[in-house]
Amino acid sequence: MTTRLQPYFTPDTIEARSFAIIDSEVPEPRPFEGPQWDIARRLIHTTADFDLLNHIQFHPDAIGTGVAALRNGCTVFTDTEMARSGIPLRRMEPLGCAVSCLLNRPDVVEAAKRDKTTRAHAAMNAASDDLAGSVVAIGNAPTALIRLAEHLAAGKPAPALVVAMPVGFVNASESKELFLNTTDVPFITIRGRKGGSALAAATVNALAVMALQQ
């Protein structure tokens, strides 16, 4: 059997062609529209997983507050270096935004060992006083999202937006439900077990594109 390849495309046209294919395979009326569809489509583009449409959920203020925070030059905190690396400086620098992952900072590593907890938990502790007005993107560690929910319940500074997408089988789904049920901070989430650093980064990238277009 011979595989018929499509013509060669440049990087920009590959993305545009991919989005066009996704649009054609999710006919209108779609479960999301406007900016929400722009984000949902980018998440499908990242994974080729159309089932995500059954699990993505947006707080009504999520996109507006997220875009505004990026346009104000906020810090984006990630729970993994993979997510940090997936948010390119070419999008962040024009907005005046920094991307920070504290996972490997020596004091965070030491605190995790001392307290016998995860580094993601310790990193959230280290970031907690600096989260006001930020975007927090969690794509891997349920312990980070749980700790963030605890901080918010205790009255700690609140981010402008939380991208709540930890992935896996141990407390991934449960951490999302805990967060949704204990805080009114704007969020974009993928309910259930699905998620990942690539999806968290893709969400921030989609918001950054909107912020730059404005």
Active-site positions read 45
Q: Using an 8 Å Cβ cutoff, are 160 and 135 in contact?
A: yes
Tell me the CATH number at 187.
Answer: 3.40.50.10230
Q: Is residue 6 part of a domain?
A: no
Q: Is residue 189 part of a domain?
A: yes
Q: Is residue 15 part of a domain?
A: no
Distance CA 214, CA 1 (A): 48
- H or E, element range at 77: strand 75-78
The reported pLDDT for the residue numbered 214 is: 80
Q: Is residue 10 part of a domain?
A: no
The C-alpha angle with vertex 48 and arms to 164 and 8, in degrees rounded to 5, equals 130
pLDDT at 12 over 80: no
Q: Quote the tokens at residue 68.
A: 């505004």
Distance CA 83, CA 101 (A): 9
**Domain of 74?**
34-213
Comparing 6 with 80, which gets the higher pLDDT? Answer: 80
pLDDT in tens, 124-137: 999 999 999 999 99
**pLDDT mean over 180-184:** 93
Q: Using an 8 Å Cβ cutoff, are 65 and 211 in contact?
A: no
pLDDT in tens, 19-71: 999 999 998 899 999 999 999 999 999 999 999 999 999 999 999 999 999 99
pLDDT at 16 over 60: yes
User: In sequence order, what are the beta bridge partners of 98?
Assistant: 75
Q: Is residue 80 part of a domain?
A: yes
pLDDT in tens, 93-114: 999 999 999 999 999 999 999 9
| Helix, strand, coil distribution of the chain in percent, nearest 5 | 55, 10, 35
Q: Quote the tokens at residue 76.
A: 């984006």
Q: Is residue 112 part of a domain?
A: yes
**pLDDT mean over 198-213:** 97
The pLDDT-based confidence of 148 (bands split at 50, 70, 90) is very high
Backbone angles phi, psi at 69, to 5 degrees: -60, -45
Closest CA to 197 of 60, 59, 47, 50: 47
Q: Is residue 18 part of a domain?
A: no
Domain count, the chain: 1
Backbone angles phi, psi at 163, to 5 degrees: -95, 100
pLDDT, mean over the chain? 94
The C-alpha angle with vertex 32 and arms to 89 and 179, in degrees rounded to 5, equals 70
Q: Is residue 133 part of a domain?
A: yes
The reported pLDDT for the residue numbered 5 is: 58
